[in-house]
């Protein structure tokens, strides 16, 4: 039987060693964005940050790489992680990490979102790793469980291909509604008070996502692709990234339709994107934080973990992404007090390990034994 990685604890030096490697890796890859901004940064995201901001962040990250490596050396008998962190920090300095400067970026027809990947990975780790360490739901689960690399690859690919996904997901909305004269609708919606406009954006997209999500669960062939997302048995801040690109395309396309038709303001659209990005990580995270009365207003980790539960008798519930009352309206709400599911994953299916194998698998095979329909195995 394969030995499970032990959960990291404060004071062992393992956390500081991992942080040193993490920051050193981000610093080194950030330099690539400065060297090749046309190819490795996205025009839309460059409007969010400045070169000075990123230069200061990178400088701080390089310094922190060495500081956390030093802490790891002092606390941990195993110096390997600290040494790797130091090597990454030295390499970052050697290729210009302390002297690199931003420059004017020429317009090109394509790019990959390495800047989006680096900053989002840094922010999400900064927010959720401490939360999961301090308030874990599964206290035995390690950050470096058997499939963490697979989830990290999903996270990376979805961010690097943000421009491609952005173009593809807009196509259906433009194709079906581009001919309509929507200027008056856009003016009315963008003229609403910000709070009302943001609520409307969250509500209409959640209704569209609810039915798309439910359709993926009920349609035999589409369930093959969405079941990849449900295959994880280790719910944490990276688990939500495990989503097949077919699933991403359909779900994001359907979500974009109401955003396109109603024409929300740029501010509302940007706040919506930030909120959804953080909230999606939160509801999959390994945290037992009690949200009190808020859990009846907005979806929480407990609520969404029940959607991922391994108990067949509770399959087919909690499809809403943001608002639980949508599940209430359509009869798919389940939240039993303070109780949590015993585990997550699919007990009636088997999946190959690794990103590449999972990418190809649903096209040719069903993960369910004897290729039975989901309704023949469970209510999910």
Phi, psi of 344, deg, nearest 5? -125, 160
What tens digit of pLDDT does each residue of 276-334 get? 999 999 999 999 998 999 999 999 999 999 999 998 889 899 999 999 999 999 999 99
CB 318 within 8 A of CB 298: no
Q: What pLDDT does 378 receive?
A: 46
pLDDT of residue 365: 86
Question: Percentage of the chain surpassing pLDDT 90?
Answer: 66
Residue 1's pLDDT band (cuts 50, 70, 90): very low
**pLDDT for residue 168:** 81
Tens digit of each residue's pLDDT (9 = 90 or more) over 64-98: 999 999 999 999 888 999 999 999 999 999 999 88
pLDDT for 370 equals 55
Domain boundaries, the chain: 1-111, 162-377
Residue 374 has pLDDT above 60, yes or no: no
**Cα distance from N-terminal residue to C-terminal residue, the chain:** 30
Measured between alpha carbons, how far is 16 from 10 in angstroms, rounded to an integer? Answer: 9
Helix axes 183-190, 245-262, angle to 10 degrees: 90
pLDDT at site 152: 95
Q: What angle, 0 to 180 degrees and rounded to 10, lies between the N-to-C axes of helices 148-160 and 355-364? A: 80
User: What's the pLDDT score for residue 161?
Assistant: 87
102: confidence class by pLDDT, cuts 50, 70, 90? confident
Report the chain's mean pLDDT, rounded to a whole number.
Answer: 90
For the cut 80, the answer to whether the pLDDT of residue 7 exceeds it is: no
* Percent of the residues in the chain that have a pLDDT greater than 70, as a whole number: 94
The yes-or-no verdict on residue 363 having pLDDT over 90 is: yes
Q: Is the pLDDT of residue 105 over 70?
A: yes
Lowest mean pLDDT of 90-94, 176-180, 199-203, 290-294, name the range. 176-180
């Amino acid at each position: 039987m394969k030995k499970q990685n032990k959960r990291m604890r404060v004071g062992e030096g393992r956390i500081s060693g991992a942080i040193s490697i993490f920051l050193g890796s981000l610093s080194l890859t950030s330099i690539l964005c400065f060297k090749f901004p046309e190819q490795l940064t996205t025009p839309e995201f460059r409007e969010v940050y400045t070169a000075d901001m990123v230069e200061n962040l990178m400088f701080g990250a390089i310094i922190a790489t060495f500081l956390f490596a030093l802490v790891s050396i002092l606390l941990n008998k195993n110096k390997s992680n600290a040494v790797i962190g130091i090597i990454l920090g030295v390499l970052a300095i050697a290729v210009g990490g302390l002297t690199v400067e931003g420059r004017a970026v020429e317009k090109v027809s394509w790019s990959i979102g390495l800047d989006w990947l680096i900053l989002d990975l840094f922010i999400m780790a900064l927010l959720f790793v401490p939360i999961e360490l301090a308030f874990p739901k599964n206290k035995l689960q390690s950050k470096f469980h058997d499939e963490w690399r697979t989830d990290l690859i999903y996270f990376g690919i979805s961010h690097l291909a943000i421009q491609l996904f952005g173009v593809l997901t807009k196509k259906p909305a433009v194709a079906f509604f581009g001919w309509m004269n929507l200027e008056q609708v856009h003016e009315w919606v963008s003229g609403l008070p910000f709070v009302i406009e943001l609520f409307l954006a969250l509500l209409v997209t959640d209704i569209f996502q609810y039915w798309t999500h439910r359709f993926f669960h009920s349609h035999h062939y589409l369930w093959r692709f969405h079941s990849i997302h449900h295959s994880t048995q280790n719910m944490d801040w990276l688990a939500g990234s495990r989503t097949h690109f077919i699933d991403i395309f359909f779900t994001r396309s359907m979500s974009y339709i109401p955003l396109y038709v109603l024409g929300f303001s740029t501010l509302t659209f940007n706040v919506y994107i930030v909120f959804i990005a953080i909230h999606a990580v939160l509801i999959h995270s390994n945290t037992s934080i009690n949200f009190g009365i808020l859990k009846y207003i907005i979806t929480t980790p407990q609520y969404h973990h029940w959607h991922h539960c391994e108990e067949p008798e509770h399959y087919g519930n909690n499809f809403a992404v943001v608002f639980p009352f949508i599940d209430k309206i359509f009869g798919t709400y389940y939240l039993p007090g303070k109780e949590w599911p015993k585990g997550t994953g699919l007990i009636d299916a088997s999946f190959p390990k690794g990103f590449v194998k999972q990418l190809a698998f649903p096209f040719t095979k069903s993960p369910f034994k004897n290729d039975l329909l989901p309704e023949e195995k469970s209510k999910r």
